[in-house]
Amino acid sequence: MTDQTPNPQPAIDENHLIAERRAKLAALRGQGIAFPNDFRRADYAGDLQDAYADAERWTGEALEGEGRRVVLAGRLLAKRVMGKAAFAQVQDVSGRIQLFLQRDALGDAYQAFKGWDVGDIVAATGTLMRTRTGELSVKADSLRLLVKSLRPLPDKWHGLADVEQRYRQRYVDLIVSPEAREVFVNRSRIIAAIRRWLDARRIL
């Protein structure tokens, strides 16, 4: 009987990916400041999602009429380039939001974006909009790379499945696992509340 088991896919050489990213970082350093620190964020993804969650009230036309400009930064979690336009998912400490990018609006920054990697930290300025599927997005007219990520993130579908690895690489777990991040934030808030309670009563 012929073995029908499919051939396993070759494992991605992580060292090769890291070498590629280091080469990109070297190219950035050759152009000047590789890690700019002059960007000042004014908005958070989660706050925007909460404020404009009512899609019936905040339709695409309503958002266009308001003309709300936002300035945010986050880690690039996904990108999809379609010729002259692209979509990107970015995540900050509060949540995620989609960026809508156009070559004609961004110029050289759009071409540079095509070479950026998932895991990089980017900054975007633009106006709020909704896509045809109703997703709140930022139509960017300015885009910058703030931090180059040298190590690839875990597979987006499986994340960190190994428990030991999750504890060893907690920082990665907090990036890719919203549940782990929520537990971390809630624990910090609980400890802070206990400290305030004790301080108010001069117990400590």
Q: Per residue in 166-195, pLDDT tens? A: 767 777 777 777 777 788 888 999 999 999
Residue 198: is its pLDDT beyond 50? yes
User: Do residue 30 and residue 86 come from a single domain?
Assistant: yes
pLDDT tens by residue, 96-126: 999 999 999 999 999 999 999 999 999 999 9
Band (10; pLDDT cuts 50, 70, 90): very low
pLDDT band at residue 155 using 50, 70 and 90 as cut-offs = low
Is 154 within the bounds of a domain?
Answer: no
145: which 2 tokens? 């790379």
> CA 81, CA 83: separation in Å to the nearest integer?
6
Q: What is the Cα–Cα distance from 125 to 134, expressed in whole angstroms?
A: 20
For residue 161, report the phi and psi dihedrals to the nearest 5 degrees: -85, -30
pLDDT for the residue numbered 2: 41
Instruction: Please report the pLDDT score of residue 8 as a whole number.
Output: 42
Residue 61 belongs to domain with CATH number: 2.40.50.140
Share of the chain above pLDDT 70, in %: 89
Rounded Cα distance between 75 and 90, Å, is 5
For residues 14 and 91, which has the higher predicted lDDT (pLDDT)? 91
Residue 199 CB partners (closer than 8 Å, separation 6+): none
What is the pLDDT confidence band of residue 14, given thresholds at 50, 70 and 90? confident
Confidence of residue 139 (pLDDT cuts 50, 70, 90): very high
Domain count, the chain: 2
Cβ count within 10 A of residue 112 = 14
**Beta strand pairing call for 85-91 and 96-102:** antiparallel
- Amino acid occupying residue 32: G
Which burial class, exposed, middle or buried, applies to 156 when counting CB atoms under 10 A from its CB (0-12, 13-18, 19+)? exposed
Residue 41 inside a domain? The answer is yes
What residues make up the domain containing 66?
14-147
* Burial of residue 138, with CB atoms counted within 10 A of its CB: 0-12 exposed, 13-18 middle, 19 or more buried: buried
* Residues 95/86, Cβ–Cβ less than 8 Å: no
128, 181: one domain:
no
- Give yes or no: residues 115 and 26 share one domain: yes
State how far the Cα of 178 lies from the Cα of 1, in Å rounded to an integer. Answer: 46
Q: Do residues 103 and 183 both lie within one domain?
A: no
Residue 84 DSSP SS3: coil
